[in-house]
Amino acid sequence: MIEGSREEIVARAFTALKRKGYAYTLDGRGALLAQPSFRKMCAKIEDKISRVGGLHTANAMLALMQRLGRIEDGSLLHARTPTMIRSKSNRPTGTPWHFIYNIALKHFAVAPTVINSECVLTDMEELARNLAAALNVEPHSTYENMHISGVGLSGLLHEITLYDELFAFPQWQPSGNTTLVGLWLDALNDRGCRLPTLTRDQWKSVSAGILARSQPAAIVALDVKDLVSSSVSREEASTALELTCHWFVIQRRLEPQPVLRRVAWG
């Protein structure tokens, strides 16, 4: 087995999971986590995140990504860079950032119940990385999937979907958000869509206030006063904030909930 290859990385992950008591099957198609083990791992990861608190976990994750150089001009760079050829270095599997972030948002309002959160998050990340490696959907070479047969297309689409759920963040380029939101509101208005409560220009002002408070490596609190402007009163700002929070909650309910070198989560 070539060191640093996909096979070696996946085998290393299954070996680590077996030592922790997570069973798997092995046949001609390769290794596969047993369903009880898969559910147990997901529950264990979620429990650790819940104990640390969703907000603290999300902010710790974003801070870690920033220290690793995984935030560039406000964009979250989730993917490892696969090599042109098989690497002989001890390249670890990637961290499933989006999977962790989704669970953190699920427990956003949960207060921390542990003192040493860094230790808990480090254990959580290791388990999450091994889970991602065991699912084996991360690319390891730039030559992968250059030629796809018709028979293999459905399997590839399944892998891409699973990869996106584990690693990828759906996102706009942050520096263009204000312009994009403005264009979107203009398009809605031109089509005759009725905007809730506020006018188009008021929603542009509200969105500008929200984006002005945003940070690339942290989730920050938003207050009504941050949305007040010459065109938006405090009462209207309060209504807008309530509407946007309500939309966020609905979106979270509809969404499915399923490293580089080690850097501290603290």
In a shared domain, residues 158 and 188:
no
Q: Which domain holds residue 198?
A: 174-253
The tally of CA atoms less than 13 A away on the side-chain side of residue 124 is 32
Q: Flag whether 243 is in a domain.
A: yes
The DSSP output letter for 83 is B
Which one of 118, 150, 171 terminates a domain? 171
Count of structural domains within the chain:
2
Quote the pLDDT of residue 260. Answer: 33
In a shared domain, residues 16 and 147:
yes
Query: 99: closest CA among 32, 22, 172, 41?
Result: 41
Q: How far apart are CA 265 and CA 119, in angstroms?
A: 8
* Residues 102 and 44: beta-carbon distance below 8 Å: no
Q: Flag whether 1 is in a domain.
A: no
Per-residue pLDDT tens digits for 185-216: 999 999 999 999 999 999 999 999 988 888 88
Which one of 139, 171, 203 terminates a domain? 171
Which one of 131, 146, 171 terminates a domain? 171
In a shared domain, residues 193 and 115:
no
pTM of the model: 0.81
Return all residues near 84 (Cβ < 8 A) that are at least 6 apart: 141, 142, 143
Q: How far apart are CA 96 and CA 171, in angstroms?
A: 16
Quote the pLDDT of residue 139. Answer: 79
In a shared domain, residues 190 and 159:
no
Report, as ranges of residue numbers, the positions in the chain whose pLDDT lies below 50: 84-90, 248-263
The tally of CA atoms less than 13 A away on the side-chain side of residue 245 is 10
Q: Flag whether 215 is in a domain.
A: yes
In a shared domain, residues 142 and 191:
no
Quote the pLDDT of residue 35. Answer: 92
User: What SS3 class is residue 107?
Assistant: coil
φ, ψ dihedrals at 208, nearest 5°: -65, -40
* Residues 138 and 94: beta-carbon distance below 8 Å: yes
Q: Flag whether 118 is in a domain.
A: yes
Structure tokens given for 231 = 């065109």
In a shared domain, residues 123 and 161:
yes
In a shared domain, residues 89 and 19:
yes
